[in-house]
Amino acid sequence: MAQIQLEISKRTTAKALVASLVGSSIEWFDYFLYGTMASLVFNKLFFPNFDPIVGLLLSYLSFALPFFIRPLGGIIFSHIGDKIGRKKTLVLTLSLMGGATVFIGLLPAYDSIGVWAPILLVAMRLIQGLGIGGEWGGALLLAVEYSGKEKRGFFGSIPQMGVTIGMLLGTLAVSVVSLLPEEQFISWGWRLPFILSILLVFFGLWIRKGIDETPAFQAAKGSGDIVKVPIVQTLRYHWKSVLIAVGAKVVETGPFYIFATFVIAYATKYQGFEQVTALNAVTIATLITTIMIPLMGRLSDKIGRKPLYIGGTIAIILFAFPYFYLLSLKSAVWLILATVIGLGILWAPVTAVLGTMFSEIFNTNVRYTGVSLGYQLGAALAGGTAPLIAAALLDRFHTWIPIALYMILTGIISLVSVARIGETKDVELENS
């Protein structure tokens, strides 16, 4: 009987891991698909009455705006997650995000409906922002709260793989439709990945509806340890942890969007690379970091979260100037190598331990709210703004040096933030 129960437990745990990974992958596929199209298509179809630089900046602005609504989405859905449960919340976030993505693929362009085109585009982006604001915290806790202490780092890294897998799916989709003649790609080809994402959404909903609530939440609910207003409890008793999480998120998100999103526009428009070459560089780096993330998560269970996080952050700081120098050599080999080092290797240990570290500094009854608020505020400050800041700096100074300095600044902010916490790998979630 005990053996049967053990097997059921293993199956349930495996299903929870798959549900956290699949949903997170779908969410980020939708999000990064937009980020790529922002630099390739939307500046032409939705913001066409401006010069190329202004059009690109406005396109990136539409990419950045949802990051500022993500904290609101985090507050709304984490309230539901801490009051009602992780599972139901994750079904809501996936439905919201998926519906907005499909609608983007159906939107008429500026030449058809005028100013309503960018207005509707931004509206769908804001809806996406609400969905992703609540998605990450739930996917993370679905994995972490099903794990034992000895494997928590590995389990917590699995949802982070969803970021790179989603990005990989997005860049592969763009690479495929980019094979179309440019006129067809601009006219209708770019819409296909957005519309077909509905198939992924249905699959994700099917997976998530087949899982149970996490043991940690069931235990908290059974003991009556459910707070009335989680956001009030979080800001009153856990505000220091929220600030730590915000600061720690900065280096994980700012340089990431430089390595993964801005580099496509920078390489094609300023360094003379072919679009396919830039996309392939990001795709290769994404494959490598997808493999690296769970390895780093498992390593954190042995040596701790902080050593990996600090080591990765320092490496990103040191690589900022060499990264742009390699791009300036205008060689496809150096472009791929620079992207693989930055996105594929150096970023992996930081993102692998980030979510687990966040979950270990909040109590169960406010954990969804705490990790979501810290993560999404950090993303709003340094994530969506990163391509916009990079493009503005490049337009103002006509050199990559200020962008490299910006990346270094994100690393310093994060190092200062995590200096305030101790090692968390041996913390019991019930007592964190």
Task: Tell me the CATH number at 197.
Answer: 1.20.1250.20
Give the pLDDT band of residue 171 (cuts 50, 70, 90): confident
Rounded to an integer, what distance in angstroms lies between the CA atom of residue 54 and that of residue 38?
A: 13
Residue 6 has pLDDT above 50, yes or no: no
Question: What band does 253 get if pLDDT is binned at 50, 70 and 90?
Answer: very high
What does the pLDDT average to over 402-426?
A: 92
User: Does residue 160 form part of some domain?
Assistant: yes
Distance of alpha carbon 23 from its chain centroid, rounded? 12
Least confident piece of the model among 69-73, 338-342, 409-413: 69-73
Task: Identify the pLDDT of residue 119.
Answer: 83
- Residue of higher predicted confidence among 429 and 280: 280
The answer to whether residue 2 scores a pLDDT higher than 60 is no
Q: Cα–Cα distance between 87 and 139 in angstroms, integer?
A: 9
Domain-embedded: residue 293: yes
Q: Give residues with Cβ within 8 angstroms of 29, minimum separation 6.
A: 165, 166, 167, 169, 170, 173, 197, 200
Residue bearing tokens 């990079």: 390
pLDDT digits (tens, 9 = 90+) for 187-231: 889 899 999 888 888 888 888 877 777 777 777 777 776 778 888
* Owning domain of residue 21: 7-431
The token pair at 343 is 């996105």
**pLDDT at 366 (0 to 100):** 86
- pLDDT band per the 50, 70, 90 thresholds, residue 403: very high
The identity of residue 171, as a single letter, is T
pLDDT at residue 54, rounded to an integer:
63
Burial of residue 192 (CB within 10 Å: 0-12, 13-18, 19+) is middle
Distance CA 402, CA 400 (A): 6
Task: Give the CA count within 13 Å in the CB-facing half-sphere of 71.
Answer: 18
320 closest CA partner among 405, 412, 414 = 405
What is the model's pLDDT at position 297? Answer: 96
Instruction: Give how far the C-alpha of residue 364 lies from the chain's centroid of Cα atoms, to the nearest Å.
Output: 23
Contact 255, 342 (CB under 8 A): yes
pTM (two decimals): 0.83
Residue type, 63: F
Q: Contact 290/161 with Cβ under 8 angstroms? A: yes
pLDDT at residue 141 in the model:
86
Query: Distance between CA 171 and CA 219 in Å, rounded?
Result: 41
Confidence grade of residue 5 (pLDDT, cut at 50, 70, 90):
very low
Q: How confident is the model at residue 329 (pLDDT cuts 50, 70, 90)?
A: very high
Tokens of 296: 């780093």
In the Cβ-directed half-sphere of 223, how many Cα atoms lie within 13 Å? 9
Longest dimension (CA), the chain: 71
pLDDT for the residue numbered 430: 61
Average pLDDT over residues 35-42: 76
Among 210, 244, 215, 209, which residue's Cα sits nearest to residue 147?
A: 215
Tell me: pLDDT of 3 over 50.
no
pLDDT of residue 4: 36
- Average pLDDT taken over every residue of the chain: 85
Q: What is the pLDDT of residue 8?
A: 40
pLDDT at 226: 76
> What's the structural domain count of the chain?
1
Q: What is the pLDDT of residue 158?
A: 93
Q: Which of 413, 69, 409, 359 is nearest to 238 (CA)?
A: 359
The whole-number pLDDT of residue 88 equals: 82
Structure tokens at 333: 């080999």
Structure tokens at 327: 């791009």
- Measure Cα distances from 88 to 26, 28, 95, 260, 408 in Å: 17, 19, 11, 31, 40
pLDDT of residue 145: 83
- Copy the structure tokens of residue 139: 């996917």
| Percentage with pLDDT > 90 across the chain | 31
User: Residue 302 burial (CB < 10 Å; 0-12/13-18/19+)?
Assistant: exposed
**Residue 189 in domain:** yes
Could you tell me if residue 319 is inside a domain?
yes
99-113, 136-150, 350-364: which range is least confident on average? 136-150
Is 2 a member of any domain?
no
Asked whether residue 178 is assigned to any structural domain, the reply reads yes
Describe the crossing of helices 239-257 and 364-382 by its angle, rounded to 10 degrees.
Answer: 40
Who has greater pLDDT, 5 or 58?
58
Determine the pLDDT at residue 169: 86
From the list 218, 31, 54, 42, the residue with the least C-alpha distance to 136 is 31
Q: Is 90 within a domain? A: yes
Confidence grade of residue 58 (pLDDT, cut at 50, 70, 90):
low
Query: Is residue 354 over pLDDT 80?
Result: yes
The answer to the question of residue 335 being in a domain is yes
Highest mean pLDDT among 35-44, 74-83, 238-247: 238-247
Helices (H), 191-257: 191-208, 215-222, 230-237, 239-257
